Amino acid sequence: MVFITGDMHGEYERFESKKLKKLTENDCLIICGDFGFLWDNSKKEKQTLDKIREKKFRTLFVEGTHENFSLLSSYPVTELFGGRVRKMGGNLYQLLRGEIYTIEGKTYFAFGGGDSEDKELRKENGTWWKEEMPSMIELQYAVEKLDKAGRKVDYVITHEPSLTDMAHVIRKCRIDPLATFFDELSHNISYKKWYFGSLHTNKKLRHAHAHCLFTDIVKVI
């Protein structure tokens, strides 16, 4: 089984959910950004990471806008489910931008990152990293991967929503390059469901095949 949830911000409580306690070594939990357990490299954080790594199921996450990209980049890149990942030890992996993974016979396109609204108030390479916004090379890589897949996947996993989906969740939208890219992407690929986090609410979007997640843990059907 595959379950998906939203931003965690380094809060371990969600891992204690009854749903997750039933998962086995054949199952996965996907987190739509702001994983947050790789932030300050403290002793307490390392202990929490070890608990996550030792879970029976695999924990997979795309990065959000509150991640320590210096720490993330220190982990080795390997392959899992047919795509590149960063292996964080044990059963913990980061899904990399633009990759397409095949899990339980279904394909998942992953693309993390976003634009922090409060970056002017944060310290570069201390509490904010410019790498949170994708480069043109990463965007092009994603397009090429999707082209090779015939522009068709079963599921899309991102931190940020498309501009259109954002407008259906919050009244005031921020127009940024990544949201615009996702908007164009949503009209040019075929998919069953698009899962995203970042907006800190749980809401199914009836107008489209999209699901905004925060604290909910949902099973992929």
Q: Is the dihedral of CA 94, 98, 104, 106 positive or negative?
A: positive
Whole-structure pTM value: 0.95
> Band of the pLDDT at 116, cuts 50, 70, 90?
confident
Domain count, the chain: 1
pLDDT at 83: 98
pLDDT(117) > 80: no
CATH number at residue 141: 3.60.21
> Radius of gyration over alpha carbons of the chain, in Å?
16
Tens digit of each residue's pLDDT (9 = 90 or more) over 5-59: 999 999 999 999 999 999 999 999 999 999 999 999 999 999 999 999 999 999 9
Domain that holds residue 126: 2-219
- Report which of residues 120 and 215 the model is more confident about: 215
